[in-house]
Amino acid sequence: MKKGFLNVVLALIIVLSAINCANRGNPEGGPKDETPPTVIKTEPENYSTQFKGREIKIYFDEYIKLENLQKQLVISPPLKTQPEITPLGSASKEITIKIYDTLQPNTTYAFNFGNSIVDNNEGNPFPFYRYVFSTGDYIDSLKVSGKVIDALTRKPQTFISVMLYEADSTFNDSIVYREPPRYITNTLDSLTTFTLENLKAGTYFLMALKDENNDNKFQQKTDQIAFHKGFITVPTDSTYTLKLFYEDIDFDATRPRLLSGEKIAFGYEGDYKGMNIQINSEVPDDFVSRVTKDPKADTLNYWYKPRLDVDTLLFTVTHPPKFKKDFTVRISEQKRDTLVIEGSKGGLKLDEPFRLVGSTPFDSLDVSKVHIMDKDSASVEFRSELDTLQNQLNFYFDKTEDNGYFIDILPDAITDFFGDKNDSLSFRIGTRKASDLGSIRFYLTNPPLPLIMQLTDKNGEVKEERYVENSNQVDFLNVAPGVYFIRAIEDLNGNKKYDTGNYLKKIEPEPVIHFQDIEVRADWGYPTTLNFN
């Protein structure tokens, strides 16, 4: 009896030990949860009318988190005082919205959460959840749809705000700088189409913004803008295409400052062409000044001589058509910049000049002290040109493929603005073999001439450009191998550059046509037809 009991106890110990061993280690989990959260109840109910409350609760069937809420949540119409929304940084089975703003009467409000609601365990999103209510007797149900494209590049930016302003007696063009819209939606991070929902019937101005500071107002310096010419009427069966562009910034001059001895930096915004710097202080008869463009900043450098024994200098900056501003610059005794000269690096194209740039303004060149030879030690004739604004010395000479060139500049060949001269300088550059490069010939079918034809990289940076005025053919010769995107710009005003739009003048950007990318191969050239129909 006792022996049988001991056997039973021993058997139980063995079984329990086996179970314990089986539980050790990492258990194999079940299938991954890919089911998004589900709303089980809202208080008040979604799509409620006669809304009078200050708090909204949304309940879920599992724990959820709010991710990137500030960027994802779109409230339409926008609230002046942002609501308090929880949870933030923690998990919960409910979302609470506390409203502090005064709601407009007879208005439908929509809270679009985008992709911010995700389950706590796997991060499965509950996409584009919308909570809608009305302070009136019914929910507005009309819609406006369309798409957003970039006026210049192949792909638009993400998170584009699309807006409707009521075209009532208070509407004017400047309202987009001052006030948020009546209705708003967002393309978020994956869509180029938009739908503005829960609209009431009426007449509206339709626009879009890449709103960098998320204030629902147009800031010319930072935001891209798109607009539909004229007003739209809701309800409508039309779909709308909005073209985003950066406006040319209105010119403005910033406060100048002394950078070094006899060198004053005049910063600016917008296009510096036409900018004029006039000194108003009394200066000696031998006073001389020079203006150069800073290659790395939106700045014009004002150089002067001789050194003046003054505490301040007075200037006026003008820019057409109407800009005029006076400035006072504090002057102190500082060391002048020294002359440092750099030359073109790497290979040169056959039609490209060799360039020298200086840290101080170039004043003169003694060409008798400049010698250019090819790799066979044959002397090469050249001509030089001084670009005073860019502060560049350009050397033009005939080049041949797969050749090397030696540029020797003897001491005292170059004199700068302050009378300093160069030491001995030597540069070596080369040209590539024609067989290392490729060519493309485009045949243009029904082209809207004149055109600016461009080859760009995947980021839209222009690598090659040709201007086409009166031909159905354009050649890109001696092009570095690679994959290029083809972009054609209709030059409507014939000024040989791309002109962007202007909101206040209701001018849209010049039309841009994109074609399929093309691969350029070394030692290879072939024709391609581009159809503009």
Look up residue 434 and give its DSSP letter. G
pLDDT category of residue 27 using cuts at 50, 70 and 90: very low
C-alpha 126, offset from chain centre: 30
Q: Which two tokens stand for residue 261?
A: 């001895």
Q: What pLDDT is attached to residue 190?
A: 66
The percent of residues in the chain predicted with pLDDT above 70, rounded, is 93
In sequence order, the β-bridge partners of residue 25 are none
Q: What pLDDT is attached to residue 31?
A: 57
Q: Which two tokens stand for residue 501?
A: 């739009």
Of the candidate ranges 39-43, 359-363, 409-413, 476-480, the one whose mean pLDDT is the lowest:
476-480
- Furthest C-alpha separation in the chain: 130
Q: What pLDDT is attached to residue 122?
A: 85
What's the angle, vertex CA 264, arms to CA 263 and CA 268, rounded to 5?
A: 140
Q: What pLDDT is attached to residue 188?
A: 79
For residue 18, pLDDT beyond 70: no
Phi and psi for 497 in degrees, rounded to 5? -150, 160
Of the candidate ranges 115-124, 132-141, 193-202, the one whose mean pLDDT is the lowest:
115-124
What's the angle, vertex CA 488, arms to CA 486 and CA 493, rounded to 5?
A: 160
Q: What pLDDT is attached to residue 24?
A: 41
User: What's the length of the chain?
Assistant: 533
Name the range with the highest mean pLDDT among 25-29, 76-80, 253-257. Answer: 253-257
For residue 19, pLDDT beyond 80: no
Q: Kindly state the average pLDDT of the residues 137-157.
A: 92
Look up residue 15 and give its DSSP letter. H
Tens of pLDDT, residues 68-118: 898 889 999 999 999 999 998 899 999 999 999 999 999 999 999 988 999
25-61: burial string, b at 16+ Cβ within 10 Å, e else? eeeeeeeeeeebbebeebebebbbeebeeeebebebe
pLDDT category of residue 154 using cuts at 50, 70 and 90: confident
Q: What pLDDT is attached to residue 485?
A: 96
Tens of pLDDT, residues 208-239: 999 998 889 999 999 999 999 999 999 999 99
pLDDT category of residue 35 using cuts at 50, 70 and 90: confident
Tens of pLDDT, residues 471-503: 999 999 989 999 999 999 999 999 999 999 999
pLDDT category of residue 7 using cuts at 50, 70 and 90: low
For residue 8, pLDDT beyond 80: no
Domains of the chain: residue spans and CATH: 39-134 (2.60.40.1220), 142-244 (2.60.40), 252-330 (2.60.40), 341-432 (2.60.40.1220), 436-531 (2.60.40.10)
Q: What pLDDT is attached to residue 33?
A: 62
pLDDT category of residue 329 using cuts at 50, 70 and 90: very high
**294 within 8 A of 265, measured Cβ to Cβ:** yes
For residue 176, pLDDT beyond 60: yes
Q: What pLDDT is attached to residue 157?
A: 81
What's the angle, vertex CA 247, arms to CA 69 and CA 171, rounded to 5?
A: 75
For residue 52, pLDDT beyond 90: yes
Q: What pLDDT is attached to residue 114?
A: 87
For residue 3, pLDDT beyond 70: no
pTM, entire model: 0.80
